[in-house]
A and B are shown apart, each in its own frame.
Chain A
């Protein structure tokens, strides 16, 4: 039995869905994309082109929820299934789009460059806890216009894992698609075995910008999976009540699914989000707040009720350092997301309200994820009895350590953590240099990077990827791409 967390009773879920439907008709959604509005109008939706407001009827949303697949897979660079969206599959990827990296050597928050991204991609490749890689941060040594494209380019060069990504512009989405086609070999193969999912974020409350709506339409056309990342901020851009934020999330996701399925019926799309509460002292949006996790768990419950694959932003912290706050916020939120059965949990490695990524935190979060996975495996019955025969055999003064049963089962029953987690004695800890968790994580980053094996990518694919990237960079005034680190 997979342990499950449900914060809403069935009746409340139905009320949330019902109010979501209501909101799409009144006040409707605001759509800044002409193509989006036309698509909706052509489907018979009441569209006010002047106000750019579409009032989407329940019947259309219901049809969209029906044509949207309830499950789909992402594939790795070898064409094997590596991520399953749908059902109660729980998977993790690092958080995306940080603007800073917490430098593991200096302890400073600074803008990342190419060398940082390469180290990040290599590290994720070495950490099996991550089912997918995300385009985790934006490199400051390329022009802004190709920032999104460049992250994907580097990811494909150094990683085999499925990719959680997103476009910052309408035109770069097509170039990102070209990169994925080059990686897959051809468009048909990419559509049959998608390797990436693209986040598209509506603007709360109930607004689709031209960029995000157009991305949604283009992704549906390419049949590249889309992930609606609705982010109601409870108390500022959404009602302060947790249930109110969930209602808004529901309406925003519904509208995204509606537009997307009109553009490409049956194309894969995810019921995702990065909601948060608003801290009423600082006006910040804490990802590590318990209420943030509660909104996420409730949103996933609604998505599951509608048979949608789910996503959430958890396992992140608002601390500025890899410290106790980073540990407890990431640990608690990852656990809640996993128990809510969220299919893809993004956010690991992140600090400072999703502004910063940290390689050391990624290593520590990998430990959290591994423990959470163990929890999800639950407690299983053993045959022929649950243990009484063995307990009887060992008797009152015996011990279990030397039983064959122990040797047979310990590695399945217990998760054995890496050296990042200290379970030794005080003197052993002293002898090893009295290191903190962060020190040990730093050591681990180094040793994993030293063990990284380059991805074997055919020279022709490598060249095509480079050509696409280089052409785009030139177009925006960059003479040369930053050099890649040796090795």
Chain B
């Protein structure tokens, strides 16, 4: 019985059907199923299929984004139950993500968030025009091990450096890896401002994030 719900939930994620994913999750909770199992046997396998199909060119960004949304909405429902049960889902890492202050470019940063979520990271997406202090607070609050800073303007690139400086000042820099992105940003810039890495696009960001978490803190 539970297996059937999990299969349906996987399918809902693969289909990018947010409503169905939410209603199935509710049903699973009502039936008293283990919320961790709902994640590990329902949502995650579905998302893995989506990731595979995307890598081999069968799925495209809209599929990926909609699947990400379906999974995210289901996770929001499951989060209280997980907490109540003292359970936590297995993750590759926790990422604080945002477009820096003064910059309202969203889509590239959101894609990175979706790619990371789809591949087992817990992502706290702070949105756009995020003040420097907000990044620092969120890292402290969540114990994140990764920070992703997006800047699409030459005038806002400098804020990426300020976030890193503030992280140092707050004594958090040794706990987190910082990755930077955005069209004016380069690997050279990343090095110059003391970031840990740079990626050109969402797939590159995923590869980078994986590399950084394996390397560990420091």
Report whether B65 and A401 are in contact in the complex, using a CB–CB cutoff of 8 Å: yes
Q: Which residue of A404, A407, A410, A427 contacts B200 across the interface (Cβ within 8 Å)?
A: A427
Contact with A along B75-86 (1 / 0, CB 8 A): 000000000000
Report whether B62 and A428 are in contact in the complex, using a CB–CB cutoff of 8 Å: no
Residues from chain A with a CB closer than 8 A to the CB of B128 are 397
Q: Is B63 an interface residue (CB 8 A)?
A: yes
Report whether B65 and A428 are in contact in the complex, using a CB–CB cutoff of 8 Å: no
Report whether B200 and A425 are in contact in the complex, using a CB–CB cutoff of 8 Å: yes
Interface size class on chain B is 20 to 34
Residues from chain B with a CB closer than 8 A to the CB of A426 are 200
Distance in angstroms from B106 CB to nearest chain A CB is 6
Interface size class on chain A is 10 to 19
> Chain B: interface secondary structure?
helix
Contact with A along B49-79 (1 / 0, CB 8 A): 0000000010011110110110000000000
Residues from chain B with a CB closer than 8 A to the CB of A407 are 16, 62-63, 66
CA distance A404 to B65 in the complex (A): 10
CA distance A407 to B16 in the complex (A): 9
Distance in angstroms from A406 CB to nearest chain B CB is 5
Known: A397-B104, A399-B107, A427-B199. A406 touches B62 (CB 8 A): yes
Q: Is A59 an interface residue (CB 8 A)?
A: no
Distance in angstroms from B197 CB to nearest chain A CB is 11
CA distance A407 to B69 in the complex (A): 13
Q: Is B25 an interface residue (CB 8 A)?
A: no
CA distance A427 to B204 in the complex (A): 8
Chain A residue nearest to B111 in the complex (CB):
A401
CA distance A411 to B61 in the complex (A): 11
- Which A residues from 408 to 431 make CB contacts under 8 A with B? 410-411, 416, 419, 424-428
CA distance A397 to B201 in the complex (A): 21
Chain B residue nearest to A430 in the complex (CB):
B200
Known: A399-B106, A410-B60. A404 touches B199 (CB 8 A): no
CA distance A419 to B56 in the complex (A): 11
Q: Which residue of A410, A419, A425 contacts B62 across the interface (Cβ within 8 Å)?
A: A410
Report whether A399 and B110 are in contact in the complex, using a CB–CB cutoff of 8 Å: yes
Known: A397-B106, A399-B110. A428 touches B204 (CB 8 A): yes
Distance in angstroms from B193 CB to nearest chain A CB is 19
CA distance A410 to B64 in the complex (A): 13
Distance in angstroms from A67 CB to nearest chain B CB is 50
Q: Is A389 an interface residue (CB 8 A)?
A: no
Q: Which residue of B57, B65, B199, B203 contacts A402 across the interface (Cβ within 8 Å)?
A: B65
CA distance A428 to B55 in the complex (A): 13
- Which B residues from 197 to 211 make CB contacts under 8 A with A? 199-201, 203-204
Chain A residue nearest to B198 in the complex (CB):
A427
Report whether B66 and A425 are in contact in the complex, using a CB–CB cutoff of 8 Å: no
CA distance A427 to B16 in the complex (A): 29
Report whether B201 and A401 are in contact in the complex, using a CB–CB cutoff of 8 Å: no
- Which A residues from 315 to 349 make CB contacts under 8 A with B? none
Distance in angstroms from B115 CB to nearest chain A CB is 12
Residues from chain B with a CB closer than 8 A to the CB of A416 are 60
Distance in angstroms from B101 CB to nearest chain A CB is 16
Chain A residue nearest to B15 in the complex (CB):
A407
CA distance A104 to B57 in the complex (A): 26
Residues from chain A with a CB closer than 8 A to the CB of B104 are 397
Residues from chain A with a CB closer than 8 A to the CB of B16 are 407
Chain A residue nearest to B203 in the complex (CB):
A428
Report whether A401 and B61 are in contact in the complex, using a CB–CB cutoff of 8 Å: yes
Residues from chain B with a CB closer than 8 A to the CB of A424 are 201
Contact with A along B27-67 (1 / 0, CB 8 A): 00000000000000000000000000000010011110110
Distance in angstroms from B15 CB to nearest chain A CB is 10
CA distance A449 to B66 in the complex (A): 36
- Which A residues from 373 to 404 make CB contacts under 8 A with B? 397, 399, 401-402, 404
Residues from chain B with a CB closer than 8 A to the CB of A410 are 60, 62
CA distance A428 to B199 in the complex (A): 10
Contact with B along A33-47 (1 / 0, CB 8 A): 000000000000000
Report whether A404 and B66 are in contact in the complex, using a CB–CB cutoff of 8 Å: yes
Distance in angstroms from B71 CB to nearest chain A CB is 12
Report whether A411 and B106 are in contact in the complex, using a CB–CB cutoff of 8 Å: no
Report whether A428 and B66 are in contact in the complex, using a CB–CB cutoff of 8 Å: no
CA distance A402 to B69 in the complex (A): 8
Report whether A425 and B201 are in contact in the complex, using a CB–CB cutoff of 8 Å: yes
Q: Which residue of B60, B110, B111 contacts A411 across the interface (Cβ within 8 Å)?
A: B60
Chain A residue nearest to B129 in the complex (CB):
A397
CA distance A397 to B16 in the complex (A): 22
Chain B residue nearest to A409 in the complex (CB):
B62
Residues from chain B with a CB closer than 8 A to the CB of A404 are 66
Residues from chain B with a CB closer than 8 A to the CB of A427 are 199-200, 204
CA distance A397 to B62 in the complex (A): 18
CA distance A229 to B106 in the complex (A): 56
Residues from chain B with a CB closer than 8 A to the CB of A401 are 61-62, 65, 107, 110-111
Contact with A along B127-140 (1 / 0, CB 8 A): 01000000000000
Residues from chain B with a CB closer than 8 A to the CB of A402 are 62, 65-66, 68-69
Please give 4 more A-B residue pairs, beta carbons under 8 A apart, in addition to A401-B65, A402-B65, A410-B60. Answer: A399-B107, A402-B69, A404-B66, A410-B62
Could you list some 22 contacts between A and B, CB below 8 A?
A397-B106, A397-B128, A399-B107, A401-B61, A401-B62, A401-B107, A401-B110, A401-B111, A402-B62, A402-B65, A402-B66, A402-B68, A402-B69, A404-B66, A407-B62, A410-B62, A416-B60, A425-B200, A425-B204, A427-B200, A427-B204, A428-B203
Closest A-B pairs by Cβ, 4 of them: A425-B200, A407-B62, A402-B65, A425-B201
Interface positions of B (Cβ within 8 A of A): 16, 57, 60-63, 65-66, 68-69, 104, 106-107, 110-111, 128, 199-201, 203-204
